[in-house]
Amino acid sequence: MKFLENSPRFLFFTGKGGVGKTSVACASALTLTRSGKKVLLVSTDPASNVGQVFGMTIGNTVTLLQDVPGLSALEIDPEQAAEAYRERIIAPVRGLLPESELVRIAESLSGSCTTEIASFDEFTNLLADDSSYGDYDHIVFDTAPTGHTIRLLQLPGSWTDFLAAGKGDPSCLGPLSGLEKHKQVYAKAVQALTDPARTRLVLVARAQTSSLSEIERTYLELNQIGIGGGYVVVNGVLPEVAGDEDLAQALRAREAAAIAAIPDAVAGLPRDVLDLKPGNMVGIAALESLFAATSVADITDEATLTSEIEDAPLAALVNEVELDGHGLVMCMGKGGVGKTTVAAAIAVALAKRGHVVHLTTTDPAAHLTETLHGSIPRLTVSRIDPEAAIQEYRHHVMETKGRNLDDDGRAALAEDLLSPCTDEVAVFRQFSKVVQESRRHFVVIDTAPTGHTLLLLDATGSYHREIARQVGDTMGFVTPLMRLQDPAQTKVVLVTLAETTPVLEAEELQGDLERAGIHPWAWVINNSIAAAHPQSPFLQARAASEMEQITKVHTLTDRTALIPLLPEEPTGENRLSALTALSSQPA
């Protein structure tokens, strides 16, 4: 493997959820240990399953793996770290502020920025304290901090003073106020990250356009703060032993096209391609096979699909949505799970049944909009340009709140406006304009803000001020959050894949929404190999590996749709219409 040749002391693995970065990180730590090195494997991934991979409990203390002498592991629990972090900030003012204010502060510290900063605070010693961890030859990190978080730590001036003066909103700068360590400690950690002799960045992706675009974004973001020289690992590429059935041939063609079109920024980096394996990467034997070519011998009879797949077509969800005659359908999920496709399929189906439908999407792949616009009666398709919305919002904030700040203050505010929370606020300002249409007809929204952002906006009164501005002096109004909380008006559909990390991420998203009083109405499991009823032993083994996650989804919701993996990408009117005509049972 190119990315393991002449490895420096620190290796950081990063990539979208579900690409297999935990498996690659674990296999790398195992390989380095087998070469005689002493290795510490550290996970800061909120969806970490390092303990599950090695078949033992690890947790938040350094644990020696008995079956692999020389290898230790540590799982930093991001939620536990974030909770302790919140308590450090809130404890001093508990009893001094009203309970409602404490709730507002807690919610402002419940976003992804807080979790990531708290995690970075936890593993700073691993990068900067040679006295405690100096005897390890390599420290392997499953999940790297984003460039945004590192830039925040490099900002000039005092975060606490900046916030106390009311110059910043509590998105990312709020969490920074809880850092108690001196900035010089973080400077030492960042210095280690940006030294190629000490740190190597490994970008893990699947052979999919969205996944490869994500590693380009990550790479460019980290480049801004001096982390370069990355390596690319394209994981889970369908091997020849998967057979020649139509599904396998189509998947190979799609993967080859995605790799051929790899974004320019990462195209020239050293690259390794890893075969998809028939089973899950659990256990030492499985990990030791990850970097080897997949052979027929890897497919066991016990792994073939024997369970019957429940028939759960997407059409059944459309039937229920249609009964109301109008309403809001919000498709949500992490990147790469197909929520745009699901939203478009629901919208097309409703329009073809005679309903007026407005589909609003932030999909950067404008081909959906171009294909559907004007081609289906009663269907209106609009596309929100996230970049334009975000730039407009940032400019507005800098011209108002940032007008009288000094250079350091403006730098801090500008960095804060690069946070994911800010992006969601900016896009939702555009979404809120179409939410009210759902009282008259169907509105289908692709990509929505998280529950954290909704609560944060509502707590600061942004909803009320924005709506009041729109309706003028008229008496009474309903805020968007109130409409989203009403199941008679809004149906939230969570989209996921039948894989460990995407299901766990969707489960966390469901909890996030429920904090905001929004209960997801249904889940859609997309691109299921099991639902495609493959014939080759290899693909049947992969289908069998999905069953645990499909079963788990049924415990999280009482309404599910299962969409099979298709030979062709479901784009365009005809293929999207076919999605709501499919059954998950073979014809």
Q: Known catalytic residues?
A: 18, 20-23, 45, 501
3-class secondary structure per residue, 10-46? EEEEECCCCCCHHHHHHHHHHHHHHCCCCEEEEECCC
Helix (H) or strand (E) holding 429: helix 420-435
Residues linked to residue 525 through DSSP beta bridges, in sequence order: 496, 562
Neighbour tally for 229: CB within 10 Å: 12
Query: Two tokens at 444?
Result: 């289908």
Helix (H) or strand (E) holding 528: strand 522-528
Residue 203 DSSP SS3: strand
Distances (CA, A) of 23 to 272, 288, 396: 15, 10, 43
**23 and 52 in contact (C-beta within 8 Å)?**
no
**463 and 469 in contact (C-beta within 8 Å)?**
no
Closest by CA to 541, choosing from 252, 248, 306, is 306
Beta strands in 317-412 (DSSP E): 327-332, 357-361, 379-383
Q: How many CA atoms lie within 13 A of 26 on its CB side?
A: 29
Cα angle 388, 391, 392 (rounded to 5 degrees) comes to 85
CA 165 to chain centre: 33
d(CA 442, CA 439): 8
Closest by CA to 564, choosing from 579, 542, 545, is 579
Neighbour tally for 224: CB within 10 Å: 11
Distances (CA, A) of 224 to 118, 419, 560: 22, 15, 42
Residues linked to residue 234 through DSSP beta bridges, in sequence order: 205, 273
**352 and 344 in contact (C-beta within 8 Å)?**
no
Give phi and psi for 552, each to the nearest 5: -65, -40
Torsion over CA: 147, 150, 154, 158 (sign): positive
Helix (H) or strand (E) holding 127: helix 112-128
